[in-house]
Amino acid sequence: MDKETETAPDRNLKNLEKKVEGLSSLFQVSAIISSTLNLSDLMNIVMDKAKQEMEAEACSILFYNKETNKLEFEVAISEDEQTSCVLKKKITLDVGQGIAGWVAKNLKPLVIDDVSTDKRFYGGADKQTGFSTRNIIAVPLIGRSGLIGVVEIINPKKKDYDLEIFDILCKQFAIAIENALLHKESIEKEKLKQELEIASSLQKSFLPVSPVFQKGKATVTGVNIPAAKIGGDLYDFIEPVEGKLGIFIGDVSGKGVSGALYMAKIISDFRYTALTKCSPEAVFNALNRICSCSPRGMFCTAVYMIVDTATGGLQCSVAGHPSFLWLTGKDVKVMAVEAGPPLGIIPVEYTSTALSLNDGDRLLLFTDGVFEAKNREGKRLGFDTLVEFVKTHQDSDNLVQAIVDFVNDFSRGTEMADDLTIVEIKWGN
């Protein structure tokens, strides 16, 4: 039947059949879209289907990169694999550039029957790939959060398609892509969470098995509370030789994974070095040489003490770490002993200071996360406030926990900004 003899009912029937065919394709693709949350599978399956339905030479999806304000080829399906590779690796479009750029900017579909007559067409992709674009359909992918990208059907042979149906399909596709992206992000977050849990367990394994260690007349107690799952503070107890007790506390630069890795390295190097050197300054001199090979900007503040568990004699070296406190029962002394720079910054020879503990004496060592804690108004706790608290609570049976509670009360309602580590050394029976 030719157009001249075609009646109005015939034309209506033909249009209805076309609409039914379009709806049938829509249902088929809708089923495909609902079948997977794997982003790569979703895009490739849908674009393969679109290529077949439209009898097209090529199909592509360009994702919108909000950071660069560019369109990047995420999927490119054509007969020539090399063409697809070039598009994905080498070609990006500015928003507003080319047919896809115009669609992204205006959020409207475009049907171009002859690209050679359209000034909006960008021929750079064809030049780089050797592909020849003659006609094109481009439709924006718009999700709940805005523009996701642009779908292109290139050189489709099928002409009697329903653009309205195609537009509806792309809207469904956009929602499916958005859901797949959220699913992918959720999986990645869960994977990261699991990895951080493992990293946290591994990091804790580097700390002493028990937070309390007793040798002779010395009792050492430590607490380490990271601000996040993993942290950069560390402490350790070690017996370098019989009758001696080594106490180490440190705070590495950096946070997160980098800080945690550096912490693990420092504590491993310390344990090896402390068993081969007999004095705190010799240990720090060796550690400083090792740390000088660390990545630029990585360093560690630290205190290392060696106590004679029979006499109470003590040797102490400090590397850029906050002053420690000496509680004598009558007074609280701020021990600003001679110190060198943090480990890993410059070549230097560290020194040590000799002290002698008496029965009832206690030493408190801590990282700056204790007194740098902030309250809701952004005010820091401060070193002097910490000292005053210790002075009024020095008779507490569990002073370490009292300090932790004090810091937590001060910073209640805020996010912990830095790791908190405290080590207490008690002398006497």
Report the CATH number at residue 309: 3.60.40.10
CATH number at residue 138: 3.30.450.40
Same-domain check for residues 154 and 219: no
Is 194 among the domain residues? no
Same-domain check for residues 40 and 154: yes
Decide: residue 154, CB within 10 A, 0-12 exposed, 13-18 middle, 19+ buried: buried
Same-domain check for residues 211 and 176: no
Whole-angstrom distance, CA of residue 301 vs CA of residue 344:
9
**Domain limit, last residue, from 147, 181, 215:** 181
Is 190 among the domain residues? no
> Mind listing the pLDDT tens digit for each residue in 32-52?
666 666 777 777 777 777 777
> Mind listing the pLDDT tens digit for each residue in 223-255?
998 877 777 788 999 988 888 999 999 998 877
Is 215 among the domain residues? yes
Long-range contacts of 375-382 (CB under 8 A, 24+ apart): 375/410, 375/411, 375/412, 375/413, 375/414, 376/412, 376/413, 376/414, 381/407, 381/410, 381/411
Whole-angstrom distance, CA of residue 344 vs CA of residue 348:
10
Is 113 among the domain residues? yes
Same-domain check for residues 373 and 407: yes
Same-domain check for residues 157 and 216: no
Same-domain check for residues 398 and 329: yes
Quick one: pLDDT at residue 145? 82
What is the span of the domain harbouring residue 130? 8-181
Same-domain check for residues 211 and 169: no
Is 19 among the domain residues? yes
Is 1 among the domain residues? no
Same-domain check for residues 222 and 169: no
> Mind listing the pLDDT tens digit for each residue in 59-116?
888 889 989 999 988 878 777 777 677 677 778 899 999 999 999 999 998 889 999 9
Same-domain check for residues 176 and 212: no
Quick one: pLDDT at residue 31? 60
Quick one: pLDDT at residue 55? 80
Q: Which residues of the chain are under the pLDDT cut of 50?
A: 1, 19-20, 22-23
Same-domain check for residues 365 and 398: yes
**Domain limit, last residue, from 181, 196, 215:** 181
Is 187 among the domain residues? no
Same-domain check for residues 239 and 171: no
Task: Please give the tally of structural domains in the chain.
Answer: 2
Quick one: pLDDT at residue 37? 67
Is 319 among the domain residues? yes
Same-domain check for residues 171 and 254: no
Any idea how long the chain is? 429
Quick one: pLDDT at residue 409? 92
C-alpha dist (Å) from residue 233 to 139, 226, 260: 53, 7, 8
C-alpha dist (Å) from residue 188 to 39, 194, 195, 198: 13, 10, 10, 15
Quick one: pLDDT at residue 34? 63
